Amino acid sequence: MKLVILGGGPGGYAAAIRGAQLGAEVTIIEERKIGGVCLNTGCIPTKTLLRAARWLHEQEKMEAYGIDVQMKLDFGELMQRKKEVVEQLTANVEMLLAAHRISTIAGRGIVKNSQTVKVATEEGVQDISFDKLILATGSRPMMPPVSGLDLPQVVDSTGALSFKEIPKRLTILGGGVIAVEFAILFEALGSKVTMMEMLPTILPREDELVQEAMTEILRQRGINVYTDATLKKVEKAGDGLKLTATGVGIPEFLETKNLLVATGRQPNVEGIGLETLGIKVHNKAVEINEYLETNVSGIYAIGDLTAKMMLAHTAAHQGLLAAENAMGQTNKMDYRSIPGGLYTFPEAASVGITEQEARKTRGDIKVGLFPYEALGKALADYEMEGFIKIIATAETNEILGVHILGDRATDLIAEGALAIGMEACLEEVAHQVHGHPTFNEGMGEAAMAALGLPLHLFPK
């Protein structure tokens, strides 16, 4: 069985490994770097920079513990560290692929016919034949149609990850996860940050309580957050930029050193030969069924290309299942218990649906809310900012969503995800013993609160 995978991001390489584990002869075609956006210019480099930024941000906390601290950041060295982490991880993945006897072809691939992918490599064009094909070409930043976005001071996330110096003033267009992470990052590194979001709120997919709390945190750090704001025009001004915007409360003109455009990403559906086989595209993404198969039998699509939830772990899990299905299994993809995270300080994470969505779609619900400031661990660690919120149906107590803002949220969410994945009720989480003192105690407390019997909350 010849399994060919187009694209070597987290989706593609997971599919390749699982395919090899199940006995396929696997070839993976990658035009740039193994690891895709996530390892090279996404998840990993941002998290490395955020680790340093968090230490800088924590100086005030350290002082509260009697530590007299002085820090000075060498931005070049930090960028060097980031480079090393990325190189080590991508090298690991390459070794892993080799150890699984997966062939890697460096070049741009395009579907030629129902058995062949044509690849343009440095040594010329190669035809690679397949029995099954998995498309995993990912996505790229979306640029809105605003004049002046071609100026050199305007960057996308990849550009912001290769700044030579920390911009004195940074304006971020967009208010999604990536935009907020960069805002928190550069504020901590010393930039004066402004955010501009077209919608009435940042983090539009999160629970309203998370939206409000994160907006408040950004503002407390001196970040200007403008919502309902539209960027009209970008012009050169000195060695920086002059922005023209409209909206309530936003000045008409803003001066900035750099503009980071983080307004979303679009699937790479173009120029890969989808038309040749009539592979269906809907809303600019490849259409797939529950088994990750496109409308053409034997051809699967995964990851950002399918625009389901544009996350690395969605891509990887789709990749595993697509490979399993290509090898004859019939595993369905379920998106309900996939968590999402925000690697700010404090962190945020969620799984399932928001309170607002639950009220709309599920009628009567129960909500349990537990603030970090009531946790012993939060006080001991000076991490009192945050909460855990849990949402369930009123009738059966089935858990529908978990929303966390606060330290370690991106790891705490795993318990919530497993609870939803295993179709737990509030009782299961409420009766589970949580260690003391931990942040995860808040999960048990939130579940108890939803049931009306919290331990560490004042009676109403």
Partner 1 sequence: RSDDKIRVSPVAKKLAEEKGIPLENIEGTGPKGRITKEDVENYQLPVSDEVQEQD
Q: For residues 285-314, which are near a second copy according to CB under 8 A?
A: 311-314
Respond yes or no: is residue 436 known to be catalytic.
yes
To partner 1, the closest distance from the beta carbon of 51 in angstroms equals 36
Contact between 112 and ligand FAD per CB under 6 A: no
352 is in an annotated binding site: no
Contact between 413 and a second copy per CB under 8 A: yes
Q: For residues 182-201, which are near a second copy according to CB under 8 A?
A: none
Contact between 294 and ligand FAD per CB under 6 A: no
Q: What are phi and psi of 93, to 5 degrees?
A: -65, -40
264 is in an annotated binding site: yes
CA 164/CA 89 separation, integer angstroms: 23
β-pair type (240-247, 253-256): antiparallel
Contact between 325 and partner 1 per CB under 8 A: no
The residue among 39, 288, 65, 82 whose CA lies nearest residue 185 is 82
Bridge partners, 3 (sequence order): 26, 132
String of contacts with partner 1 for each residue 360-399, x by CB under 8 A? ------------------------------------xxx-
Q: How many residues bind a second copy (CB under 8 A)?
A: 96
The answer to whether the beta carbons of residues 406 and 388 sit under 8 Å apart is yes
- 303 makes contact, choosing from ligand FAD, partner 1, a second copy, none, with CB < 5 to 8 Å by partner type, with ligand FAD
340 is in an annotated binding site: no
String of contacts with a second copy for each residue 349-388, x by CB under 8 A? x------------------------x-xx-xxxx------
What amino acid is encoded at 91 in this protein? A
137 is in an annotated binding site: yes
Contacts of 150 (CB under 8 A, 6+ apart): none
178 is in an annotated binding site: yes
User: Among 282, 431, 436, 456, which one carries the catalytic annotation?
Assistant: 436
CA 250/CA 194 separation, integer angstroms: 10
Q: What are phi and psi of 363, to 5 degrees?
A: 70, -125
Helices (H), 100-246: 157-160, 177-189, 208-220
DSSP 3-state assignment of 260?
strand
Going from the C-alpha of 16 to that of each of 26, 96, 328, the distances in angstroms are 6, 10, 15
> Residues in the site for ligand FAD, rule: CB under 6 A?
6-12, 29-32, 36-38, 42-43, 46, 108-109, 136-139, 157, 178, 268, 272, 303-305, 310-313, 315, 343, 436
Residues annotated in the binding site, as ranges?
47, 109, 137-139, 174-181, 197, 264, 304, 310-313
Residues tagged active-site: 436
Residues annotated in the binding site for FAD, as ranges?
47, 109, 137-139, 304, 310-313
